[in-house]
Amino acid sequence: MLRFTSLSRRPELPLLLAALLFPAIALAGGDPEPQPTAVAQPMVANSTLTGTSVVSSSKAKPDNSETAISLQPFRAFYQAEFDLGIHVNGEAIRELTRTADGQWQLSMKASAIAASIDERSRFALEQGRVTPQHYHYQRKLLTKKKTIEHRFDWPKQLLTSNVKGEQQQLALTQGTLDKVGFQIQLWQDIKAGADEATYPVADGRQIKTYEFDRLGKERISTPAGEFDTIKVARDRGDASARKTYIWFASELDHVIVKLQQIEPDGKQYTLVLERLESL
């Protein structure tokens, strides 16, 4: 949950909602800026595509075996700081669990006063890749509610999208991810040596292209301890002034230890790992 523990003055609802939305926007990879519709194949590290497989031009090639991704259930608590013209401290929680049918679910929940967010992805691991099955997002603010649902039908290669009650279908391209599960795939590709990662991601009523760049190694201090990390940046193109950075700690594998978003006006939103629990 996102619980506000320190306020220099009471926030107006738009500011409160902005603070609440940050974990969903940045952790889930969403972006309120308009993005062009794209249907693309996944690729990593200056990769070339052969059919639906990924071939990296670097020495480290992705492993397509079932054991290429090894996950451990966890619950991660993050300290959140929001520069919104007021000082806001809070907490965000992410959780990875194994489902009864052997699949996985990665979720993020947050709530504050009259607003709440529930976002989760259920996915399978197939041929060493994340394969989304179902994505759910719900945001409530006072009496208003926004719901987005994606159902992935891989045998029929169809994505059924339901956004605020309006349903439509899109053609599914092999390798398409959702706005939560792609985080797992991103770390696996970065860990395998990729300098860049590009994914087709189901986002609202479209399939968009998400791009990331590996910036290098950095040792950072968090309330959970000091970690040697790999820093990754969301690449929105030269025209975008919004910056998003993600720090992955190798020793914690797929757990994000820090995330920061810098808005065009200079305001910053930061999450840092406070503690981690094994489930």
The confidence score (pLDDT) of residue 163 equals: 93
The confidence score (pLDDT) of residue 276 equals: 95
The confidence score (pLDDT) of residue 112 equals: 65
Count CB atoms within 10 A of the CB of residue 173: 16
The confidence score (pLDDT) of residue 131 equals: 97
The confidence score (pLDDT) of residue 10 equals: 41
DSSP state for residue 45 in the 8-state scheme:
S
Cβ-contact 203, 65 below 8 angstroms: no
The confidence score (pLDDT) of residue 150 equals: 97
Cβ-contact 161, 167 below 8 angstroms: yes
| Ranges under pLDDT 50 in the chain | 2-20, 27-67
**What ranges in the chain are assigned the alpha helix state H?**
13-22, 182-191
Q: Where are the beta strands (DSSP E) in the chain?
A: 6-7, 43-44, 48-50, 53-55, 74-83, 87-98, 104-112, 115-126, 129-141, 144-153, 158-163, 166-171, 196-203, 206-222, 225-234, 243-249, 256-262, 268-278
The confidence score (pLDDT) of residue 41 equals: 39
Nearest to 271 by CA among 1, 3, 11, 22: 22
- Spell out the residues 6+ positions from residue 242 whose beta carbon is closer than 8 angstroms to its own: 31, 33, 236, 261, 262, 263, 264
- pTM here is 0.76
The confidence score (pLDDT) of residue 2 equals: 47
The confidence score (pLDDT) of residue 175 equals: 93
* Residue 130 to residues 6, 64, 220, Cα–Cα distance (Å): 38, 11, 28
CA atoms 69, 67, 127, 151: torsion sign = negative
Bridging pattern class, strands 48-50 and 144-153: unpaired
The confidence score (pLDDT) of residue 85 equals: 56
Six-digit token pair at 30?
A: 């969403």
